[in-house]
């Protein structure tokens, strides 16, 4: 005779999730203004022995001469291609010898230069960084090489559906006299005529220490930062520099609420870009609602757009929505690709989901969005480069240095009504929509959707 025993196999109880502990973005270890007008912040981040230095020079793209737009981007890419003290090859060798990662670029409102370097070579890195800003020589051969590389890149972007959609969207959304309506790095016509002399003159007028900001972040305990700055950035002078005034938010075009179809015969997918003007981080009522709204609408595979277009209907691998602040004003953007045969239904569904007249958020959604946006902050800003990047953006946007902390606190206090009213305040009844795809297969049905005037343009 045998007996059978039962054993409790439920195991230990699952631990409960505890609310996050208090957190604040770090305060700077020092905040000083050099004699040349450069503001310097330092952040001591223990354990981060690769030091990050980020510098921003306010430089709105609207300061570019119209005939040579793209000159700021080209200038930035040439900063490490030779100085009055070192040839291009020598400069590159010094970067490699000291383990320095150097990068430079522009956005809508500034020149950004970043270096990452082991702590022991910090002074060497700042010396080269200051040298690249103060005395670049822009060799003719390098100007020619990088100009040709940019022209080739423009052709590659034209072949990319997401790039083509983005270019058409800004050209349609923003008024034609706004710099924001044209590519950041210029067009083929404007880039092709940029000369070395143009770049030299532009650099002399637009790049200097006055109103610029430098953030140095990492394990700086015991480092004599004042001595390092005296040996490096205090020597930077730019007698011809004219500090730029703060830009205004770009104006929306009078006929922006319409549909542009970029025709690509034979395309098996349609790339969709839908957008409208959005807030910057100085938004009335606060910036806190907008990242949460973007997350709930299209910031994850479980967001509203993907829940329908991806999970329910299987039309797309994923579409994303986000708010993209500029120095002044901003953009709310939704992008993604769908199968050509479901282009019309996808547009109809997408615009229904985003229709502000019927969109409300639930408290459960808000808690999920708030928990994610606020919860990732401690991990997001755990490294020296992340701290430097955030701090330098605060300087550029003229925001208080505790903005990241106070904005997170405001995020954690958001309600469903806060999000619903914030979205209603920025979402239009009709959007600026661009579709890159085979126009013949869907354009007539798109016209029947009533989304606004529909125009077909060549690729």
Query: Are residues 213 and 283 located together in one domain of the fold?
Result: no
The enclosing domain of 125 has a CATH number of 3.30.830.10
Rg of the Cα atoms in the chain: 25
Residues 6+ apart with CB under 8 A from 87: none
DSSP state letter for 267: -
Q: In sequence order, what are the residues at sequence separation of 6 or more whose Cβ sits closer than 8 angstroms to the Cβ of residue 4? A: none
**Taking the model in full, what pTM does it have?**
0.92
Residues 338 and 379 in one domain: yes
**Domain shared by 409 and 316, yes or no:** yes
Residue 279 sits in the same domain as residue 211: no
Q: Are residues 55 and 196 in the same domain?
A: yes
- Is residue 85 within a helix (H) or strand (E), and if so which, with residue range? none
- 11, exposed or middle or buried, with CB in 10 Å at 0-12, 13-18, 19+? exposed
pLDDT score at 8: 53
pLDDT the model gives residue 4: 46
What's the rounded mean pLDDT across residues 123-132?
98
Say whether both 139 and 275 belong to one domain: no
Whether 233 and 133 have beta carbons less than 8 Å apart is answered as no
In a domain, 348, yes or no: yes
Based on the fold, state whether residues 308 and 349 are members of the same structural domain: yes
Which residues have a Cβ under 8 Å from the Cβ of 118 and sit 6 or more positions away?
49, 50, 51, 98, 99
DSSP letter assigned to residue 451: S
Distance CA 304, CA 298 (A): 6
Check whether residue 86 and residue 147 sit in a common domain: yes
Question: Do 429 and 361 meet the contact criterion of CB atoms below 8 Å apart?
Answer: no
pLDDT > 70 in the chain, percent: 97
Q: Which domain holds residue 268?
A: 259-458
| Confidence check: pLDDT of 6 > 60 | no
Q: Is residue 454 part of a domain?
A: yes
DSSP 3-state assignment of 44? strand
Q: Taking 80 as the threshold, does the pLDDT of residue 116 lie above it?
A: yes
Residue 251 lies in a domain: no
Number of domains in the chain: 2
Query: What confidence tier does 157 reach under pLDDT thresholds 50, 70, 90?
Result: very high
Please answer whether residues 452 and 430 qualify as being in contact, where contact means their C-beta atoms are separated by less than 8 angstroms. Answer: yes
Percent helix, strand and coil across the chain, each to the nearest 5:
40, 20, 40
Percentage above 90 pLDDT, the chain: 94
* 220-223 long-range contacts, CB within 8 A, separation 24+: 220/29, 220/42, 220/43, 220/44, 220/45, 220/51, 221/44, 221/46, 223/119, 223/122
Q: In what order do the strands lie in the sheet with 330-339?
A: 319-325, 330-339, 269-278, 432-437, 259-263, 454-458
Q: How many CB atoms lie within 10 A of CB 107?
A: 18
Count Cβ atoms within 10 A of the Cβ of residue 325 and give its class: 0-12 exposed, 13-18 middle, 19 or more buried: buried
Whether residue 223 is found in the same domain as residue 343? no
What pLDDT shows up at residue 13? Answer: 80
**CB-count burial class (<10 Å; 0-12, 13-18, 19+) for 239:** exposed
pLDDT, tens digit, 9 for 90 and up, residues 367-416 = 999 999 999 999 999 999 999 999 999 999 999 999 999 999 999 999 99
Q: Are residues 203 and 304 in the same domain?
A: no
134 and 263 share a domain?
no
């Amino acid at each position: 005779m045998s007996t059978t025993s039962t054993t409790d196999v439920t195991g230990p109880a699952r631990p409960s999730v505890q609310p996050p502990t208090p957190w604040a973005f770090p305060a700077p270890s020092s905040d000083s203004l050099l004699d040349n007008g450069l503001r310097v912040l330092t952040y001591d981040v223990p354990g981060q022995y690769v030091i990050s230095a980020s510098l921003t020079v306010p430089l709105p793209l609207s300061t570019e001469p119209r005939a040579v737009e793209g000159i700021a981007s080209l200038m930035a890419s040439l900063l490490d291609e030779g100085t009055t003290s070192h040839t291009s090859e020598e400069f590159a060798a010094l970067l490699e010898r000291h383990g320095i990662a150097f990068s430079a670029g522009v956005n809508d409102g500034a020149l950004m230069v970043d270096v990452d370097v082991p702590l022991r070579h910090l002074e060497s890195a700042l010396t080269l960084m200051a040298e690249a800003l103060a005395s670049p020589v822009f060799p003719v051969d390098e100007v020619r090489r990088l100009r040709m590389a940019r022209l080739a890149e423009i052709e590659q972007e034209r072949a990319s559906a997401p790039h083509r959609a983005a270019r058409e969207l800004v050209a349609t959304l923003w008024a034609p006299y706004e710099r924001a309506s044209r590519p950041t790095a210029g067009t083929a016509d404007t880039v092709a005529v940029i000369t070395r002399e143009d770049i030299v003159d532009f650099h002399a007028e637009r790049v200097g220490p006055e109103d610029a900001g430098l953030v140095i972040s990492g394990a700086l305990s015991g480092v004599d930062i004042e001595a390092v700055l005296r040996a490096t950035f205090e020597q930077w002078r730019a007698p011809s520099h004219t500090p730029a005034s703060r830009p205004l938010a770009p104006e929306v075009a009078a006929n922006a609420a319409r549909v542009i179809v970029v025709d690509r015969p034979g395309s098996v997918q349609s790339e969709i870009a839908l957008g409208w003007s959005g807030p910057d981080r100085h938004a009335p009522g606060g910036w806190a609602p907008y990242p949460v709204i973007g997350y709930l609408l299209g910031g994850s595979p479980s967001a509203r757009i993907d829940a329908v277009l991806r999970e329910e209907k299987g039309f797309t691998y994923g579409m994303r929505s986000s708010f993209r602040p500029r120095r002044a004003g901003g953009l709310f953007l939704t992008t993604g690709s769908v199968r050509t045969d479901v282009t019309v239904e996808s547009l109809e569904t997408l615009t229904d989901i985003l229709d502000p007249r019927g969109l409300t958020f639930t408290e459960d959604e808000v808690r999920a969005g708030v928990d994610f946006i606020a919860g990732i902050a401690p991990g997001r800003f755990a490294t020296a480069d992340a701290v430097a990047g955030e701090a330098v953006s605060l300087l550029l946007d003229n925001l208080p240095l505790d903005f990241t902390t106070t904005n997170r606190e405001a995020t954690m206090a958001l309600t469903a009504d806060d999000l619903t009213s914030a979205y209603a305040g920025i979402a239009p009844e009709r959007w600026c929509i661009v579709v890159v795809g085979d126009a013949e297969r869907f354009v007539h049905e798109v016209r029947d959707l009533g989304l606004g005037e529909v125009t077909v343009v060549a690729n």
